[in-house]
Structure 1
Amino acid sequence: SHDDQFCSTWGNYHFKTFDGDFFQLPFTCNYILASQCKGSYEDFDIQLQRQEIHGVITIKTVTMKLEGIVVELANTSIKVDDKLVTLPFSQAGISIERSASYVKIQAKLGLVIMWNQEDSLWVELDAKFKNQTCGLCGDFNGVQIYDEFIRAGDSVTPEDYGEVWKVNGPTENCEEISTATKTCADQVCENGFKDLCKNLLSGPAFLSCQNLIDTDSFIKACAKDLCHCKSNSTSCLCSTISEYSRQCAHTGGKPQQWKTTQLCARTCPFNMEYKECGSPCTDTCSNPHRSQMCEDHCIDGCFCPPGTVFDDITQSGCVAVHQCSCLHNGKPYKPGETYSRACHECTCTKGEWSCKDLNCPGICSILGGSHISTYDDKTYTFHGDCSYVLSKETNGTFTVLGDLVKCEKSDKSTCLSNGLVVIWNKKTTLMIKLSSTFKVSEQIYR
C-alpha cells in the first residue's frame, strides 16, 4: 500500500494529509496544497483554489511549478508555461494525459497528480520527499496531528492551519463559505447520520476496502456532509463515498458498483459505461492492447464495454477492433479504405495499415536544380556545387552523374549544369545535354 504517500482533497472542502489527518477548510481561497520546502531546491509547488456556484463546490484552478515548469489546470483549459496545450502532452520530464475521467500529471521527479475535472484531486509523492513538504497536505513525517494540528503542545484549528498556507494575490479576496444554518448541535446531528454512512461504506460494494483505509474518518466526513446539506437529497454524500472508493482502489482494493440511477447516478458519453474499478490504461484503436501492459491501480470512470476499444482516430466512441479507423498524414480512413503512394498500396485493417508493393517504376527527380525527390518519395532541398552521383545500381549496371552548380545570376540558387551523364555497364557513356542533344560514346545525336 502507498496510502501514506497520498494526499487528497474532495467535495465539501475535505482534505486528507499525507500522514492521514482529515479536516475541512470551507474557504475559496488559493492555498499551497503541497510543496517541497525543506530541501536545498524546491522541486515542486502545487496550489489549489475552489469555487462554489449555486451550491456546487468544484476545483477552480490548480497551479503547479514542477522543476521550473509551470502547469495550470482549469475547467476548460490546460496551460504549460502560459501556453495552451492539447493532450497527450510530454516535455522535459512532465507528461499530461487523460485517463478515464481524470487528467493525470506525472513528473519524473517523483510525483503523480490525478484530477477528476470536478471536485477531487490527489497527489502522490515518492518516499524520498518524506519530512520535506509543506502545505495543506502536511509535512509527510509519518505522524498524525504533529506538526499540523498540535504545535508546541497547543492545538491548531483547521482555519488557523489553513491561514498559514493561504497565497491570495494582493487584490484578491476570499470569503468563508457558510456550511448552511445548523438546525441541531453539530455532534448530535452528525451522530444521527453515522449509521447511514456506516451502512453504505461497509456494504457489499466495499468489502475489499475494509482494513485498507481509515473507514471511520470517512464515516465522519460523510455524516458532516449530510448534516450540513442544503438539500433533502442524498447527493450530498456522493463526493465522500466516491473518494472512499477512489482511495480504496489506490491501496489495492477492488470496489464494486455502488452507484445506481437513484444514488449518485453517473452518465457517460458515446456508448461508454461507468465502472467503479476499471483499467486506467485505455485500449484504443491506436493501441488496442495497452491495458494488458498496465500496472497502475484501477480507477473509476467511463470505459468501453468488453470486446471494444475507444476509436481515438475519429473520437467517435467504442468500436470492435475490426471497425477501427486508421490515420495517414493526419487524415482518417475507414476500415477497408486504401491509399497508394510510392509504389505501394495500403489498406486500413483493424486499425492498422496492411501494405503491399505495386509493380511500378521508381522515379527520382530534380526540380529547379535543388529540389530533390527520391525513389521512396522523400523530398529535400540541396544546394551543391560539384559533380554528384544521382543514382547508381549496386552491381555497377548503370551510374547517373549530374553537375549541380550555382546559377549564373544568383549566389543562392542551384542549377543542373551541362545535363546528365549515364554510364552503362561501365563502358557505354550516354550524355544528355540541356540543348536536347545527346552523345553516345562520343557520337552526337539530336
Structure 2
Amino acid sequence: MDGAAATRAPRTVGVVWGLLVLNTLGSAGAVTIVPLPRSVIQVVTMGALVGAFALALAVNLRLRVRPSAYVLLLSLLVVASVIASVNLEAGLGALFRCARLALFVSTLWLLSRWWDGGLTFVRHHIRMYFFVLGSVAAGLAVSPGAALPDLYGGRLVGALWPLTPPQIGQYAAVIIGLTVLLVLGRRTDRASAVVVIVPSLVLLALTHTRTATLGLIIGLVLAIGSLFLTSAAARRFFGWAVVCATVGAVAFASALQSWFLRGQTEENFSSLTGRAKVWDALLAAPRTTSEQVFGMGLGDKSFGGLPIDNSWLAVYNEQGLIGVTLVAAVVLVLGGVALLRPPSLQRACAIFLISYCGIASYTEAGLGDASPYLLHLAVAASLLAVPAQAAPVPSPDVPRRRTARRAPRRSEVS
C-alpha cells in the first residue's frame, strides 16, 4: 500500500499544484465573453483550494513534512493575520481570508514532503501556468475585441477567465524565465522550449506589462550570472543576449519607448500610473499603535477604494509591522540560502523566482496573502531544500559459520 501510494504521489502532487494555481487566479478582472458572476468564480477558486488540501492530505495521511523555514514563516504570518483580523475592522471577510491563507499554508506543509531540491515543482509550475496562458490565447483567438478592450487601453486581458494584464504578464514572464534556465541546464529540448517561450513572449508583449518585463530581464541576468562560471551554455547565452539586446535597442528604440510608455503622460508615468498617490495617502493616514504593529486585518489589498499595488504597503496596512517583518524574513531567508548554495541549475531557478518576486513586490500586491507570488517562492523553497538521504537498505541475514574455538596456548594462559 505505501509503495503504491508513493508511486501515485507525484502525479497527484501535480494535480494539487494545479488546484493551488487555480485558487490564486482571483475573481476580479476583465469582462469575459461569457459573463461569469463573481460568486461563481469564488466558489470555483475556493473549491479548488479545498480540493487541493484534501488531495494533499490523501497522499500524505501520515502527515510527513520536511522542515522548512519558508512555510514556518508563512505559518507565523497566518497567526499575525488572525490577530489583526479578530477585531473585524476589515469585516467578516478578513476572517474568511485568514481561513483561506491557513488552508493554503497547510497544503504547502503537506506538499513539503516532496521538496527534495529537484525540478519537479518547476515543471508543474510551467505546465499549469502555460495552461492558463493557453486559455488567454484561446480567448484572444475567439474574441480579439474582448481580449484587447479599450477599458484597459488595448492591453491583453483574459476573455475566458477574468485575468488582468499584470496577471498575464506575470505568468508569461515566470514560465519564460524558468524555461530558458531549463534549456541552459539541458533539462528540456529546444523544440519544447520554443513551444513555451515564443507564445508566452507574444502574450507578454500584448499585455504591455513593464513590471513583468523588467522582472524577467533582471531575474534572468541574476540567475544566469550565478551559472556564469560553471556553465559554458550560460556564458554563450549571456553573450548573445547582450548583442541582440544592443542591436534591438538601437534598431527599435522608438518602438520600445512607445511600448514602455503605453501612451501615458510624463506626470502619470512618474507617479507610477497613480500608484504613488495611493501610497502617500496610505502612509499619511492616522493609525493607532495597535494598527501600526498588527495592521487592520486581511482585506482586498485596497485603500480608499483604490488598489494599493505594493506588497510591502499592503502588508503594512493589513498585517502591520509584524507582517512586514515576517515577509521580509521570507525573502531574506530564501535569498540567503540561495546565495550559500553551490552553483547549480536549481539554485539559478530559485534566484530567478526570488528576484522576480522582489522586483514585482514594488508595484504588485500579494506577498502577504495566498497568491501566485507565494507559489513562486514555494517553488524556490523546494529547489533550495536539501535532498533527503535514502535510508540504507538492510542486507539479508547471512548465517555465520560456526568455527571451533582455538585452544589457548600455554603462554597465553600463563
| Higher-strand-fraction structure | 1
- In terms of Rg, which structure is larger? 1
Same fold per superposition (TM over 0.5):
no
**TM-score between both structures, scaled by the size of structure 2:** 0.24
| Higher-helix-fraction structure | 2
